Chains A and B, each alone.
Chain A
Amino acid sequence: MKILAIDTSASPVSAALLCDGKLVGEFYLNIKTTHSQTLMPIVSNLLSSGRVDINDIDLFAVNAGPGSFTGIRIGVASVKGMAMPLDKPCAGVSTLESMAYSLPYSDGIVCAVMDARCSQVYNALFRLDGTAVERITEDRAISIEELEKDLEHYDETVYLVGDGADICFQAFGEKLNVVLTPVNIRYQHAYGTAAAAEIMAKENRLCTPAQLMPIYLRLPQAERELKAKQEKLKKGEMQE
């Protein structure tokens, strides 16, 4: 099975080609340009350099969220555009899950964290046993304090991945048994997206290009705080 996977969920952009479980090629850039300008040249280069015709791709995979609003839309729309005319299946992969596939050889807990701003992170936890990735929590938006409390329940080593790993390590790195992973595996790569998609194919969790949708997580705490402040302001204005 040939899988073309892309990631545009945050500041880096990457594309990977996986043929029967083997990584044939991967293209990764982390520069300050719009993914809308870099993604398609990358995909086109990857396919031509890897000598694979787009018609031979069996599965199109994309990190469908959580992540940057614009980035996710670019990724999902691009994959829809490539898969729809060829009538091929798609895999909408959780960005957080894709990151766990960067280190399945380890033993312990992977804590994938993305900076959602406003002191919140997108997070999910996964257990690794040296061979497989097992999901422990759903994808969620929580504060760093809540995450720290949750991680206290685990005795295993916790590996931090994602663009929120730094801020989490600064917040509780000294207090808990956590490892800040090296930069080559810390951020999301399309290889992880492809690896997760391969498992999803085995478990019949694929969708049609039309069914593929962005996954957005809301920030309930930030929302609550804003509402409270707005009401306070309104009351203040009325008193004036």
Chain B
Amino acid sequence: MQKFITSSPEETEAVAEKLACTLKGTEIIAMSGGLGAGKTAFTRGLARGLGIDEGVSSPTFALVNEYKGKFNLYHFDMYRVDSWDDLYSTGFFDYQDNGVMIIEWSENIREFLPENHITVKINILDENMREIIIKGIDMSQMQV
């Protein structure tokens, strides 16, 4: 488990960028944290770490956004997904093993995640401060 305290969206992005360097290409990253916690900022940092220059925005309406970088990156938002049927019809299972998947509001589909996923929990400490807890990966093991 790794714990970070950040005091701005930029610092949150930097933590995600560091996580991006440890990925092998097919990980599933399950994020949780309330509205405004910085889940999209975290994803933006992760995308930058994978060499993706495109603007990253929340896929609340599209359900999934796809980006191409060092690996494919699939950015899901499960806010409105709460049944197996819903999840299946997002194509969620078709994306597995084809790239890195990062999931906002993963608490809605927790039971359907494979066992070996990475979790990122963002706690709001005050207006700017965030506590980021990352489990399921050792970030000191950088991939070349």
Q: List residues of chain A with CB under 8 Å of any chain B CB.
A: 32, 68-71, 116-118, 216, 218-219, 222-223, 225-226, 229-230, 233
Contact = CB atoms under 8 A, between A and B. Distances in A.
A70 B64 CA distance: 13
Given A216-B88, A226-B84, A118 B94 contact: no
Interface string B97-133: 0100000000101111010000000000000000000
B93 A71 contact: no
A229 B91 CA distance: 23
Contacts of B90: 69
A118 B91 contact: no
A223 B83 contact: yes
Contacts of A233: 107
B140 interface: no
Nearest to B82: A230
Interface residues of B, number: 18
22 contacts: A32-B98, A68-B91, A68-B93, A116-B93, A117-B96, A117-B112, A117-B114, A118-B84, A118-B112, A216-B88, A218-B84, A218-B85, A222-B84, A222-B111, A222-B112, A223-B83, A223-B84, A225-B111, A226-B82, A229-B111, A230-B82, A233-B107
B143 interface: no
Contacts of A116: 93
B98 A69 contact: no
A40 B114 CA distance: 33
A146 B93 CA distance: 22
Given A219-B84, A223-B84, A230-B82, A69 B112 contact: no
Contacts of B89: 69
A117 B93 contact: yes
B72 to A, nearest CB: 10
Given A70-B91, A225-B111, 5 more contacts: A32-B98, A69-B94, A117-B112, A216-B88, A218-B84
B82 A69 contact: no
A117 B115 CA distance: 11
A226 B94 contact: no
Among B88, B90, B107, residue most surrounded by chain A Cβ atoms (within 10 Å)? B88
